[in-house]
Amino acid sequence: MIAFVRHGQTASNRGGQLQGRFDAPLTPDGEAQAARVAKAIAQERPVRVLTSPLARARSTADAIGTLVGVEVEVDERLVELDYGEWDQRLVTDVPAAAWREWRDTPSYTPPGGESLEAVTARVVDFCVSRIDEWRDELVVAVSHVSPIKAAVCWALAIDERASFRMQLGLASITRIGYTRGDTPHLLSFNETSHLQV
């Protein structure tokens, strides 16, 4: 099984801004979220912890790796979608027509950015390349909202437009399994009970 963990809170998340490749650190609340998700997932004894290269994911992954006692590995395919010129904007600041096209057309690319189809391609490549590792053991992948939703779309055999109908919380856990018939399946989505205090 692969457990996708979304990183903890950043100031951009808190402010409601689109956050792609902008490399913001965790807030104090985000660090607390990372500690809670680390405690929850460490109890399951994952065999590997992989992460996006961005600081918010790295910090979350480091909290997990420390408790598990494994070295965190960076995998570029787990990086957040590139919003290009939209990065750090509020959704309301993106032209309405462009936002509609973005939601309706998975191949649409924000100016200077990356399409949802491109995100799916690299996330599927990540998952397929790790199949032999996570078929029978738990591998943790710390990533971001768009790649995790892309993994869910792949597991459910639906296109990327469905991602706009998903709500994925900070420091949440989403699990994908893989059957002997080589079919991915969604085991859980947006687990957040570990964040309750």
Residues labelled catalytic: 7, 80
Structure tokens, 92: 């309301």
The backbone torsions φ and ψ at residue 168, rounded to the nearest 5 degrees and listed phi first, read -120, 115
DSSP per position, 94-137: S-HHHHHHHHH-TT---TTS--HHHHHHHHHHHHHHTHHHHTTS
Residues sharing a CB contact under 8 Å with residue 99, sequence separation 6 or more, in sequence order: 91
Please state whether 29 falls in left (phi above 0), alpha (psi between -120 and 50) or beta: alpha
**Rounded-to-integer distance, Cα 197 and Cα 57, Å:** 22
Quick check: 42 and 70 in contact, CB under 8 A?
no
**Rounded-to-integer distance, Cα 41 and Cα 184, Å:** 21
